[in-house]
């Protein structure tokens, strides 16, 4: 007995059912995938949020540091520092040129003659007169300052120290001829600066010499530089300077500068026409001047004669200032003058 074929609509319903099931499975899979993807995206987004927040916090910290940071400005070189640097370069250049010269070309300075201070062209000229001073009736405790000018070399210092006397060394500023003078001075407990100043007639002036045409600003820079080279300087006396010290306007500018720097000018009295006393009175500063030159004449005996005169002036006025130079005759005379100096206090300028 033969079977009857199934109707076509039954097959269609089965296919439709399977189709619906497949579609539902697809939707379920899609939904699951979406949920899983969304979850992962949410996690990634959360991680990005955390990272972003960390960056924001770091930026805030950097900004806070930047706002509180006050940069320290690099110190600018002032005119004084620039002048010191210029002088050092100039000195180095001079030393290099000096080292390149042959022995025959090297300048050999003449033996020191005290006349170069006041009369370089007249070796027989007598020193200008000492300042007028009141007589002291009681000569007990008389004090004498002995300044040795033109100190420039180590052998000068050694010779002066060999006297065993508390002499005051006055150092020339460093130059190509004596580059170590400032270093030598700084090794001493006290010293002066022998300040080069314009003379009436002098052919061998120092490298940096003050002239009457210099402005007060130029003088101020020069003195400021010297204070850097000689930190403990309290007194300066003139090297030559017969023209400069006789010029009232130039001396007024210089003494104003020195007064601001706390430095006292000591007049070597290289001219009888010095204007230093009147300018000192005008500016309210104390006048200090030389009484005796020790070695304007050669010979130990002549120097001893001048030492004796200095002692007499110290007893007559209570104090006196004598100026000598690091010459063999002068050093020997001082060594042999212990008896002449008996009863006299040899002191520094600060003690008179």
* Domains in the chain: boundaries: 15-59, 116-351
- Packing angle, helices 276-283 and 248-260, rounded to 10: 50
Measured distance CA(69)–CA(66) in Å, rounded: 5
In this prediction, residue 101 carries a pLDDT of: 45
In the prediction, which pLDDT does 107 show?
45
At 252-297, the pLDDT tens digits run 999 999 999 999 999 999 999 999 999 999 999 999 999 999 999 9
| CA separation, residue 271 to residues 97, 293, 326 (Å) | 35, 13, 22
Measure the CA–CA gap between 347 and 352, rounded to whole angstroms: 8
Q: Distance between CA atoms of 193 and 237, rounded to whole angstroms?
A: 7
**Contact of 323 with 151, CB cutoff 8 Å:** no
Residue 104's pLDDT is what? 42
pLDDT under 70: residue ranges of the chain: 1-19, 21-22, 25-27, 29-112, 137-139
CA distance 108 to 121: 19
- Cα(222)–Cα(291) distance, integer angstroms: 28
pTM for the structure as a whole: 0.71
* Confidence at residue 61, expressed as pLDDT on a 0 to 100 scale: 55
Instruction: Provide the terminal-to-terminal Cα distance of the chain, rounded to the nearest Å.
Output: 161
The answer to whether 230 and 185 have CB atoms below 8 angstroms apart is: yes
Domain 116-351: which topology? TIM Barrel (3.20.20)
Residue 319 exposed, middle or buried by CB count within 10 Å (0-12, 13-18, 19+) = buried
248 class by beta-carbon count within 10 Å (0-12 exposed, 13-18 middle, 19+ buried): middle
CA–CA separation, 42 and 350 (whole Å): 89
| Collapsed DSSP state (helix, strand, coil) of residue 165 | coil
Contact 269, 99 (CB under 8 A): no
């Amino acid at each position: 007995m033969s079977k009857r074929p199934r109707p076509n609509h039954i097959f269609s319903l089965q296919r439709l059912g399977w189709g619906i099931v497949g579609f539902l499975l697809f939707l379920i899979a899609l939904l699951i995938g979406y949920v899983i993807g969304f979850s992962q995206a949410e996690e990634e987004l959360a991680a990005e949020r955390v990272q972003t927040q960390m960056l924001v916090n770091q930026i805030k910290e950097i900004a806070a540091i930047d706002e509180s940071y006050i940069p320290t400005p690099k110190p600018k070189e002032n005119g004084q520092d620039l002048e010191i640097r210029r002088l050092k370069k100039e000195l180095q250049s001079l030393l290099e040129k000096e080292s390149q010269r042959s022995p025959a070309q090297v300048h050999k300075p003449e033996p020191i003659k005290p006349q170069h201070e006041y009369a370089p062209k007249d070796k027989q000229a007598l020193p200008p007169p000492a300042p007028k001073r009141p007589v002291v009736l009681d000569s007990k405790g008389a004090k004498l300052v002995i300044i040795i000018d033109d100190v420039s070399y180590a052998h000068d210092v050694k010779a002066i120290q060999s006297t065993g006397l508390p002499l005051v060394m006055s150092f020339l500023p460093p130059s190509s001829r004596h580059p170590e003078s400032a270093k030598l001075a700084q090794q001493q407990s006290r010293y002066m600066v022998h300040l080069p100043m314009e003379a009436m007639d002098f052919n061998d002036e120092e490298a940096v010499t003050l002239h009457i045409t210099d402005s007060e600003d130029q003088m101020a820079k020069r003195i400021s530089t010297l204070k850097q080279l000689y930190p403990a300087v309290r007194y300066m006396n003139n090297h030559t300077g017969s023209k400069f010290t006789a010029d009232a306007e130039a001396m007024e500018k210089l003494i104003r500068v020195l007064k601001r720097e706390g430095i006292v000018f000591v007049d070597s009295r290289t001219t009888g026409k010095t204007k230093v006393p009147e300018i000192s009175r005008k500016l309210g500063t104390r006048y200090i001047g030389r009484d005796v030159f020790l070695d304007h004449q050669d010979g130990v005996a002549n120097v001893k004669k001048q030492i004796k005169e200095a002692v007499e002036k110290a007893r007559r006025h209570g104090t006196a200032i004598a100026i000598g130079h690091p010459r063999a005759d002068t050093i020997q005379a001082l060594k042999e003058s212990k008896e002449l100096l008996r009863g006299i206090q040899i002191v520094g300028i600060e003690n008179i």
